[in-house]
Amino acid sequence: MTKEILLLLLVLGLMTTASGYAEEDREGAAERRGAVAEDQQSERGRRRNRRGQVGVKDPAEFRAEGGEVFSGPQRGEKLIGFKAVELAGDNQGKTIDPIAVADGRPQIILLQDGNGVAIRGLFGIVDAIGKIDEKTDQDLHVSCVFLADDPNEIRSRFGRVFPALMERGIDVIAVSADGRDGPGALGLDRTVSQTIILANQGEVTRNFVAPQGFLYVDPHVMGGVAELVSEDRETVAGWLAAARETQERMRMRRGNERQAESSNRFRQKLGELVRAGKISREEAAELMQLAFPAENSRRQQR
């Protein structure tokens, strides 16, 4: 094959695949942003994240990084209501009590500062909770309450992701009326970036502390959620695995559709070049084989 033909292949390949890559990049933006902070978590967590697996373990075995840390009410204690201002949704700007709005339902409250790690990890946590919520008969209520002295800073930094988080199942996104220290009645540790409280009928069932925020879905937290909805950990693990397989199939199908679209555009362009007399049919066939070898191999096997 001549240098001219090779150059043509390169140019046409870039023309036909650029739009597909751009779309793929947009869809994967959230995952790549989360990967930036991988070095702040354990190697085991990184391996689990790459495999896309979400484990479900005994919540009693949870250990915070850096040793035992207490932040917020502990298991068996009553949740005390507090004031927060909603940052998203139909009630944006309204002062509410995140405990009261759950109305006694099983609830998950994520109390966190503006740490970027916790924000990136929030997507994975909420996705996993949403998959459990779809399967269980329980009606989970999920709140994310930011701890910040300046609510406007939270809006400006993270406001663009609030709609996506609510689509994933967060019922309330708000900022504490008590600033970075949070509600005094909750007894939060100011040095802790993220505290996750699970409760039912206003009583705490589990408390998880992440001094730097959870970048990945912690399997013990998922075990706590399984406990909250009165399901075996094995059952919940099966739900999450099945949901993951479904997502993978959908992702592969989208990839195949983009590949087919690029292939068709490439074939049409080659046809135009053949009709214009710039390349021969044999050269067009060779270019098609080089650009999309897998597709041509499948065609030959039929």
Q: Which is more confidently placed, 64 or 1?
A: 64
Residue 297: its pLDDT value, please?
Answer: 53
Question: Does 8 score more than 70 pLDDT?
Answer: no
Q: Which residue has the tokens 């942003």?
A: 33
Residue 43: its pLDDT value, please?
Answer: 46
Tokens of 144: 């994310």
| Among 155, 134, 133, 151, residue whose Cα is nearest residue 142 | 133
Least confident range from 184-188, 234-238, 291-295: namely 291-295
Give the residue-averaged pLDDT of 33-56: 52
Give the pLDDT band of residue 12 (cuts 50, 70, 90): low
Residue 276: its pLDDT value, please?
Answer: 87
Strands 107-112 vs 95-96: parallel, antiparallel or unpaired:
unpaired
Question: Does 32 score more than 50 pLDDT?
Answer: no
Per residue in 137-155, pLDDT (tens digit) is 999 999 999 999 999 999 9
Percentage of the chain beyond pLDDT 90 is: 56
Question: Does 103 score more than 70 pLDDT?
Answer: yes
Q: What is the pTM (predicted TM-score) of this model?
A: 0.69
Residue 299: its pLDDT value, please?
Answer: 54
Per residue in 171-219, pLDDT (tens digit) is 999 999 999 999 999 999 999 999 999 999 999 999 999 999 999 999 9
Strands 203-210 vs 194-200: parallel, antiparallel or unpaired:
antiparallel
Q: What is the dihedral of CA 196, 200, 201, 207, to 10 degrees?
A: -40
Residue 300: its pLDDT value, please?
Answer: 52
Q: What is the DSSP string of 40-68?
A: GS-HHHHHHHHHT------GGG---TTS-
Q: Which is more confidently placed, 293 or 100?
A: 100
Q: Which residue has the tokens 């139909």?
A: 90
Give the residue-averaged pLDDT of 233-252: 84
Question: Does 233 score more than 90 pLDDT?
Answer: yes
Question: Does 46 score more than 60 pLDDT?
Answer: no
Q: Which is more confidently placed, 87 or 33?
A: 87
Residue 291: its pLDDT value, please?
Answer: 76
Question: Does 72 score more than 90 pLDDT?
Answer: yes
Residue 287: its pLDDT value, please?
Answer: 78
